Amino acid sequence: MTSGGAQFVNRSAQEHLLYIQEKVNPILEALVTAVLLERPEDPSFFMLKWLCEQTKSLDATDQGSGDSGQGSGDSRQRTGTTADEIVAVREEIRKLTERKAELLALKRGGGARGDAKSDKSTKADDDEEEDEDDDDDEAPDMMPPPPAYFRGARQSVSAEAYGDWNRKAAFVAPVYEKSSEQKERIERCLGPSFLFNSLEKQDMQTVVMAFKERQVEANTRIIEQGDDGQSMFLIEEGEVNCFKTTEGEEKMEKLVKTCSAGDVFGELALLYNCPRAASVVSTGKSILWELDRETFNNIVKDAAAKKRTTYAEFLKKVPLLRNVEPYEMMTIADAVKVETIEKDIRIIQQGDVGDKFFLVLEGECIAKKAIAAGEEETPVMTHKVGDYFGELALLGNTPRAASVYANDRHVKLLSLDRKTFKRMLGPLEDILRREAKRYDLPAN
């Protein structure tokens, strides 16, 4: 590739990254927050509707600030049906796809095209490259942070997310002394959360010690919708209500969720670097534990991202999940919990009520079954890496059909509780029932 072609590709890559930072990333962060807050049955329709509503709200703002007569004309021209907006979005996607293909073709065959340029064009490119080199010498080491989406505060939000611009300094978490009982209660409350159950033991201890106790009276506004998120909270005692302000001429607060002892709230703004999605008000006197943004970002967020990537890659290789959409795969990766079992330890007991579904991450398990009560268990099946078990009792609300034991020195399992299994793997129920015939086969 010629220097001009290489320069064009490099410059395009930088422009694309800057465009993502400034234009795309803030929108996606706000969109993901809205999806997680509402948890719609059809995420695709909800996201499309959300984008259309945001576009219309911006149109209305622009029209209101201009001349009334002109605004009326603009309204007729700019406001279309949802179907028109969908067509426009698809057309834009098509153009972007074609543009991407052109850039890839230029990258692969740029040399031939570059040689065909005139000497004058090449000289212009060289001059431009020299000018850019001069500009680079004067540029700051860190790219200025992009503006936030729909608001002016916290200009550093999106700058937290990217590669070499995010070189971290040594971090030391704050320490607030606690009794042994308090530490145990905090760790027990954090355990069920996907954000915290991926932490190593040492990191969990660091996080527990970084929580700061905060006592609030009744009707205290702990979080305000739209504010920047500086911390998240764990409820030890009490209850809080989450309110979302509705859009329109008469803004009203709608109760969307109630959190009680053991629940966490305020973590979404930290996880996705976006404004608070709802306001939170205490219903009575409450005892909270508050974790600051820096500790969350440096320990909790990094561990959750690593867990998601690691387990999503593993789940893609599980035959049962081969047709699951990427978004759903990420959701499952967030929800699974890791359990380490020693050899010969029983994982599930024949006849018990089923409350978990398991996937074998490392090692091997063996299923054993007693034909009649009091008889010795005999092996009926072996579960290896990528295999799953425990689904029958959840699908049919029946007792466990067999016992399963760890058959290696260290066995690692990914588990989903009954409620999460039903919500996430419900669409796979027909496949799971069809595959149940494998239990009729004897172990090798």
DSSP letters along 252-310, please?
Answer: -EEEEEEEETT-EESHHHHHTT---SSEEEESS-EEEEEEEHHHIIIIIIHHHHHHHHH
The whole-number pLDDT of residue 383 equals 94
Answer yes or no: is pLDDT of 283 > 60. yes
- Chain centroid, CA 234 distance in Å: 20
* Residue 419 confidence (pLDDT) above 90: no
The pLDDT of residue 75 is above 50 = no
**Is pLDDT above 60 for 63?**
no
Nearest alpha carbon to residue 29 among 161, 142, 133: 161
* pLDDT tier at 132, thresholds 50, 70, 90: very low
393 or 133, greater pLDDT: 393
Tokens linked to 114:
């570059």
Q: What is the per-residue pLDDT across 305-359, written as a single tens digit (0 to 9) for each?
A: 788 888 888 988 888 888 788 877 887 887 888 889 999 999 999 999 888 999 9
- DSSP class of 399: B
Q: Identify the band that residue 56 occupies on the pLDDT scale cut at 50, 70 and 90.
A: low
> How far apart are alpha carbons 118 and 121 in whole angstroms?
5
pLDDT of 197 > 60? The answer is yes
- Greater confidence, 216 or 45? 216
3-state secondary structure 120-144: HHHHHHHHHHHHHHHHHHHCCCCCC
pLDDT, residue 438, reads 64
- What is the distance between the alpha carbons of residues 367 and 347, in angstroms, rounded to a whole number? 10
375-390 per-position pLDDT tens digit: 889 999 999 999 999 8
Output the pLDDT for position 169: 60
User: 3-state class of 346 per DSSP?
Assistant: strand
Q: What is the rounded CA–CA span in Å between residue 169 and residue 236?
A: 32
Laid out side by side, the sheet with 221-223 consists of 221-223, 279-282, 239-245, 253-260
pTM for this prediction: 0.45
